Amino acid sequence: MRYKCAVVFLITSLFIAGCVQGGADPGAGDKEYLVRNVVDGDTIELANGRKVRYIGIDTPETMKREGGTWIFEPEAFATAAKDYNRSLVFGKKVTLEFDMTKKDKYGRWLAYVHIDDKMANAELLKEGYATVYTFPPNVKYVDLFLEAQKEARRNKKGFWAALEAISPDAAGDHVGEYCIIKGPVTGIRVSPHMILLNFGPDRGKYLTAVIFSRNIPLFTEKGIDPSSHYGGKYVEVVGKIEYKNGPRMIIDNPSQIKVTHDGM
């Protein structure tokens, strides 16, 4: 009887543990996964068919969407980022560490990818092939990542060596590139979803810096209210220029923007 009870208890415990881990999803731990393909600088494919998106970083894109299809049109340093990622993990066994959210909207696992005594996410930042991409609630290593990025920029590694400083009205000519932009914040618009920092009268021509609501706590914890702090001041922003109703730059965290001096 005791033996049967023990077996029932063991099976029940394993079932409950499986439910806590989210069914077929892995949990953090020592389980190893073989990397069979490197998709780009921040995404890999495992031997079990799962794709894994690195948490906390963003690398230049290798593919561009045109209409309903994707074409190979790599941004600057996209190939270098992919090659470096490949040198870190391809054909090797890695362990995955998860944060609060384990999957993105595309069904990819979100993880910190460990290989030997290194974390691939951090290594890409250190070598200047990635920038910090903060997407709460997955911010466990944000301070470590910011320090790695700071070191890469200071040492002019990767794309930091080629970083170009441009004016706010030239942003539209540099879509898909990482740039430094300096200029006055001429206006601020606040909505429930984001804060828009305008760098000129024409949004179709001048840069707009975008701070999403989910990232505002990263500013307020440093005593910065982004809805008012930058208004009427000259600032420097660093990041990749996108295009949506005009050139824009997503500001994920305070390290991307600083006041150079007050007053316009």
d(CA 96, CA 112): 6
Q: Which of the following is catalytic: 53, 75, 123, 127?
A: 53
Which H or E run contains 109? strand 109-115
Q: Which of the following is catalytic: 32, 36, 50, 61?
A: 61
* 108 carries an active-site annotation: yes
Burial class (CB in 10 A: 0-12, 13-18, 19+), 113: buried
Residue 211 near residue 168, CB atoms below 8 Å:
no
Q: Which residues of 143-153 are buried (b: 16+ CB within 10 A; e: fewer)?
A: ebbbbbbeebb
User: What phi, psi does 8 have (nearest 5°)?
Assistant: -60, -45
Q: Which of the following is catalytic: 36, 86, 97, 108?
A: 108
d(CA 240, CA 161): 15
Q: Which residues pair with 111 in a beta bridge?
A: 54
Which H or E run contains 195? strand 194-198
* 53 carries an active-site annotation: yes
Amino acid at 71: I
Cis peptide before 137 (omega within 30 of 0): yes
- HSE, side-chain direction, 13 A CA sphere, residue 25: 19
* 36 carries an active-site annotation: no
Residue with tokens 């290989």: 115
Residues annotated as catalytic are: 53, 61, 108
